[in-house]
Amino acid sequence: MAGKIDQNQLDYLKVRAGMGRISRREFIGRMGALGVSAAMAGTFYAQAVHAAGPVKGGTMRMGVSGGESTNSLDPALAASPVPYNVLNQFGETLVNVDETGGLEMRLAESVEASADAKTWMFKIRSGVEFHNGKPLTAEDVMRTMERHSNEDSKSGALGIMRGITSMKVEGDMFIVGLDTANADLPFLLGDYHLMIQPDGGFDNPAAGIGTGPYMVEADEPGVRHLFKRNPNYWDSNLAHVDEVEILAINDTTARMGALQSGQVHIVNRVDPKVAALLDRAPGLSVKSVAGPGHYVFIMHCDTEPFLNNDLRLALKYAIDREDMVDKILRGYGSVGNDMPVNAAYPLFDESIEQRAYDPEKAAEHYAKSGHDGSPIILRVSDVAFPGAVEAAQLFEQTAKAAGIPLELKREPGDGYWSEVWNVQPFSASYWGGRPVQDQMYSTAYLSTADWNDTRFKRDDFDALLLQARGELDEEKRKALYSQMGTMIRDEGGLICPMFNDFVEGVSDKVQGWVADPTGELMSGTASHRCWLTA
């Protein structure tokens, strides 16, 4: 068959496609006329367009769930997906975590650590300008870090700034001193709240002035955010489209409708229930990538009846993880292993045994725990994670099969995060994941962590964490992390049935998409790295 295809015609069409002169539909149609299957033609088209390099121009529209009229442009206050994506348009951090989990230099040109990993030196990129024309200096970087870490800070990044004891500027160097060694510090400073602002944003934190590839053109919180390309942007490899428009579309059906009718090019958070159907619609595809985010049921290790490790183990054996990935995530995810990390993290030990549903073992541990048989209350709400109530119902059934009297209590979504999560001893929740294992463990499993939502307080675990943090030898660090993961798996208060994928819908007009497990919508950089074709 292949011999019959006119190679000249084929090459001609590829060149045309590469130049953006013919649409995907036309390309596939004409390829079909040459005897090439539609699937093959689609691949050819993508290759041709990719090989030709990015096309400049156009307006990229994104329909993003998770935007409210109450959103602000202040990076310190960002907590939901729309502000996250908005910040990534106009702002930039010192470093980024790239799709392979490595460090990518942004406003820092290079990073160096002292031998004890207690002092870190960031060389600040020269020749970068803020949108207001002011050149970027190391002083701006230091002021930004100050605003997120000083006494009056209300920043979402306050927690990760805690280990910093001193900050100073020497010429174009920004120097950070730590109280204990931390080999992962640069990863922490890549947090999306830490967008560098002129003078740290002290004058007007919500001014929307940064060094990023796009400048704020219109800011209507909860409705839309419009950006124009920054003509003085320093990195010529990025930012191909002229304008980026982020529309806040919180209703799932409306978001899918907007993608299907071509009003937006990219949507986030495709409901797993409709993902397979949506993927069959013409002119778009559904992309999914395994990320570090996970859905959890959390028990307080310091509260009855969860004080008893046998009871905790009984509950861990009484949950059917495979079934939940099938029914709740419809396959767009992977099973969890009762620890907060998975293969999306660097230095993850894949040899730790996977825990499976085992009603007999669960019953055995339950009998050993000596529990009085009174109902064990699990608090749950729709906002805990998508499908949380259904997941809890599955859990209730599988636990019942093991003779464990689990009882669900539905809580209102409004106020769930202040009244139930981290307050009640057993509840459903989610974690968005962190770029490195150290940050995940320090955020939620260190004895003194504010968000220690399982009340896991163990001196030996804390000691391992600090040891791993200062360990520059990767093999040894990996062994330490493996030990910590096993400890939480076997003795912690975390029941982690599943890790959820990022599931996103992308129009065929968008080129240059890469799977990036570190965050939603290519970690907020889809609009910088993708381009539009006809």
Partner 1 sequence: MHPILILVSQRIALGLLLLFAASVLIFAGTMILPGDVAQSILGQSATPEALANLRAELGLNEPPVTRYFNWLFGAMQGDLGVALTNGQDIADALGRRLGNTLFLAFWAAVIAVPLAIFLGLLAVRYRNRWPDKLISGVTLASISIPEFLIGYLLVYFVAVKLGWFSSVAMINDSMSLGDKLSAIALPVAVLVLVVLAHMMRMTRAAILNVMQSAYIETAELKGLSGFNVIFRHAFPNAISPIVNVVMLNLAYLVVGVVVVEVVFVYPGMGQFLVDHVSKRDVPVVQACGLVFAAVYIGLNMVADIVAILSNPRLRHPK
Nearer to partner 1, 147 or 469 (CB): 147
Residues in contact with partner 1, counted by CB under 8 A, come to a total of 49
Query: According to CB under 8 A, which one of 114, 165, 166, 263 is a site residue for partner 1?
Result: 263
Regarding 424 and contact with partner 1 (CB under 8 A), the answer is no
**Token pair listed for 258:** 């907007």
Q: How far apart are CB 409 and partner 1 at their closest, in Å?
A: 15
For residue 11, the one-letter residue type is D
Regarding 250 and contact with partner 1 (CB under 8 A), the answer is yes
Residues 6+ apart with CB under 8 A from 113: 119, 120, 121, 183, 185
Q: Which stretch binds partner 1 (CB under 8 A): 52-60, 261-269, 312-320, 520-528?
A: 261-269
Q: Which stretch binds partner 1 (CB under 8 A): 86-94, 246-254, 314-322, 328-336?
A: 246-254
Q: Is the dihedral of CA 196, 76, 194, 173 positive or negative?
A: positive
Regarding 524 and contact with partner 1 (CB under 8 A), the answer is no
**Token pair listed for 304:** 């009855």
| Three-state DSSP state, 52 | coil
Nearer to partner 1, 71 or 230 (CB): 71
Query: According to CB under 8 A, which one of 59, 119, 260, 424 is a site residue for partner 1?
Result: 260
Regarding 77 and contact with partner 1 (CB under 8 A), the answer is yes
Distance, in Å, from the CA atom of 44 to the CA atom of 35, rounded to the nearest integer, reads: 13
Burial class (CB in 10 A: 0-12, 13-18, 19+), 17: buried
Regarding 513 and contact with partner 1 (CB under 8 A), the answer is no
Distance, in Å, from the CA atom of 266 to the CA atom of 246, rounded to the nearest integer, reads: 10
Q: Which stretch binds partner 1 (CB under 8 A): 43-51, 129-137, 147-155, 320-328?
A: 147-155
Cα 284 to Cα 178, 289, 382, 531: the distances in Å are: 48, 16, 29, 15
Phi, psi of 346 (to 5 degrees): -65, 150
CB-side exposure of 125: number of CA atoms within 13 Å? 18
For partner 1, what does the binding mask look like between residues 283 and 312, x meaning CB under 8 A? ------------------------------
- Tell which residue, 514, 533, 511, 532, has the closest CA to residue 523: 514
For the chain, the maximum distance between any two Cα atoms, rounded to a whole number of angstroms, is: 79
- Tell me which residue has tokens 């015609």: 9
Query: According to CB under 8 A, which one of 59, 72, 119, 467 is a site residue for partner 1?
Result: 72
Nearer to partner 1, 493 or 512 (CB): 493
Regarding 203 and contact with partner 1 (CB under 8 A), the answer is no
Regarding 421 and contact with partner 1 (CB under 8 A), the answer is yes
- Tell which residue, 95, 236, 91, has the closest CA to residue 174: 95
Binding region for partner 1 (CB under 8 A) = 63, 68-72, 74, 77, 79-80, 151-156, 158-159, 206, 218, 220-224, 247-251, 253-254, 257-258, 260-264, 412, 414-415, 417-419, 421, 429, 450-451
